[in-house]
Structure 1
């Protein structure tokens, strides 16, 4: 994880803000046309972080995510720690946050009454979902009260991006992929989303290229990678390397530009009038 010893952005003398842990889940499904689709939401404009941007469900790790005493089905915490190059406590918190945030933001719950089952309909948990989002209820308390087991085997590790040094809000984000469970409906019933939709990765990129949405570099990169897969099964079978990617901010005119791996197509596709705020990743 990045530390406060990182250098500040070019031209800045302020110490770097320590990034907070976060988890993001890329929900995928096989669409009716037979093509791979991903679930995207447009965040409410004016939010402190990534307002108005089109993103995958996700958010910051809560302290209770690490402390949760829950049923766990799937790869052990030690496996997740190795894949994300971190310690066991943080790995557990990241996985719990991934499932919790996905449930809060779109109603999809990667859990079931047994180690080999998954909830078919999450409507009965609507009240608990609201309480989770408002931090009136911890995820561990919710799972325990409903006698549910966390299905970590439905998730796959995918990527790790850190917000550039120089931003006021920074996150060390682990990306996961997961297949949307049969019978569950991903929705936009959250205070953080203005719009949600399922799209093929190619269509989402075309939508962005036409100026109809704003994709931050990590989101664009994951969509570009997923465009190379045809089905959910292919995505879940992948075992990608997960390097830690830390973009940098560089001055460009009166604003700042985000530099990141394989960025040429991103900047060639359409102009990006980045300011310090819109450069958040």
Structure 2
């Protein structure tokens, strides 16, 4: 692990999409309907965090959590023995320049004593945390040849009683995830997870003691929804829902989505078909991603939360928060929303949240889309 981190903790999150009972024909129906109300043939797993949670209580989030030292343990070398001679254990080499690569991926872990590449360890973390929180185990037999472009993945559903015992053991001690893979003769299916984006928790004030995270987001597509069981600890409930259903609930204030979840669910609205999402995530996964730190700009009558590329986003943002710098303008939000500007921002109007985006996405990614967006997003590459 990167033991030089001072301002945030590294974490990994999994956007888990699974085919619904509607079947693939629904994607054809979607093209015949008003695009403001798409019909999806898949749903996304979302968990409700406990109100007692120390980070984002009561929020609706994707499964995931903080990286543990065991995720970088060299004991994984034996488990991944068939793959260690391949670039990044068979994941391939990301095309993004090392200079622009997010630090959590670009950091050489050998200097900290780990032979496990960051691209591998963060996927292990996402798979482990998903297992702990939902009971879904994404592994493959140790003797199976796998490929990042393979068809849909199946979650491990055999020996349910034994897997339940292992889940409790892993919850109590993450090192047990390694032991479980040894006993079950399986390997975390890192090849099913495709790099999606990277978010830094913003600073709120110079003296804020709020925990901050540097989080890698991955996408995984399953052919059907696996059995899911909440842990009754950090997670109080779970739900499978389409991206648009979840966004509508958030806008009606029936639930709360943190900004990265809102943004990425809106990105998924580009894809009404699970097959299309799977193909896109596979083909784009080795392009790379940006590290995004939201910056709050205080306007005369409210605040605007900006992302890189926005006209209000500072050229040299205070990433660490140590300076206590406050970004402000004497203009109103209405003036700041006039056409002609570059928008990559989150704004709340009359209690309704929305992203406004007209910047060109990098690394062959897609912009979020919304039924009532004011700034039309660029089309996909």
| Runs of at least 5 residues in structure 1 that lack an aligned partner in the other structure | 5-15, 273-281
C-alpha displacement of 1:253:
9.0
C-alpha distance in 2, partners of 1:134/1:81?
Answer: 34
C-alpha distance in 1, partners of 2:301/2:159?
Answer: 48
Q: Deviations over 1:104-127 (max 9, x none)?
A: 111111102242586233623111
Conserved in 2, the CA contact under 8 Å of 1:21 and 1:173? yes
The equivalent position to 2:193 in structure 1, one of 128, 137, 155, is 155
Moved more, 100-109 or 262-271: 262-271
Conserved in 2, the CA contact under 8 Å of 1:108 and 1:122? no
The equivalent position to 1:248 in structure 2, one of 269, 273, 295, is 295
**Residues 92 and 153 of structure 1, relative CA distance in 2, 3 Å threshold:** closer
**Residues 253 and 53 of structure 1, relative CA distance in 2, 3 Å threshold:** farther
C-alpha displacement of 1:265:
6.2
C-alpha displacement of 1:140:
1.3
C-alpha distance in 1, partners of 2:175/2:258?
Answer: 31
Q: Name the TM-score, length of structure 2 as normaliser.
A: 0.60
The equivalent position to 2:127 in structure 1, one of 95, 99, 112, is 99
C-alpha distance in 1, partners of 2:185/2:140?
Answer: 8
Moved more, 208-217 or 237-246: 237-246
Conserved in 2, the CA contact under 8 Å of 1:110 and 1:181? no
Match for residue 71 of structure 1?
Answer: 79
Q: Name the TM-score, length of structure 1 as normaliser.
A: 0.80
C-alpha distance in 2, partners of 1:265/1:163?
Answer: 15
**Residues 228 and 51 of structure 1, relative CA distance in 2, 3 Å threshold:** same
Q: Deviations over 1:17-41 (max 9, x none)?
A: 5111100001101212342210101
Q: In angstroms, what is the RMSD of aligned CA positions? A: 3.2
C-alpha distance in 1, partners of 2:225/2:241?
Answer: 19
C-alpha displacement of 1:191:
1.2
Match for residue 179 of structure 1?
Answer: 221
Matches within 5 A, 1:1-281: 18-34=7-23, 35-67=41-73, 68-69=75-76, 70-72=78-80, 76-77=87-88, 79=91, 82=94, 85-86=105-106, 87=108, 89-114=117-142, 115=144, 119-121=156-158, 123=160, 124-135=162-173, 137-166=175-204, 168-180=210-222, 184-238=226-280, 239=284, 241-250=288-297, 258-260=305-307, 264=345, 267-268=348-349, 270-271=351-352
C-alpha distance in 2, partners of 1:157/1:203?
Answer: 24
Secondary structure of the residue aligned to 2:219 is strand
**Residues 169 and 253 of structure 1, relative CA distance in 2, 3 Å threshold:** farther
Q: Deviations over 1:150-204 (max 9, x none)?
A: 2222111111101113452111100111123657312223411122111000000
C-alpha distance in 1, partners of 2:267/2:304?
Answer: 22
Conserved in 2, the CA contact under 8 Å of 1:37 and 1:201? yes
Bigger-Rg structure (1/2): 2
**Residues 150 and 169 of structure 1, relative CA distance in 2, 3 Å threshold:** same
Question: Could you say which structure has the greater relative contact order, defined with CA pairs below 8 angstroms and 6 or more residues apart?
Answer: 1
Q: Deviations over 1:87-140 (max 9, x none)?
A: 463222211101101111111111022425862336231111112112264321
Match for residue 8 of structure 1?
Answer: none
C-alpha distance in 2, partners of 1:227/1:189?
Answer: 29
Conserved in 2, the CA contact under 8 Å of 1:120 and 1:183? no
**Residues 28 and 81 of structure 1, relative CA distance in 2, 3 Å threshold:** same
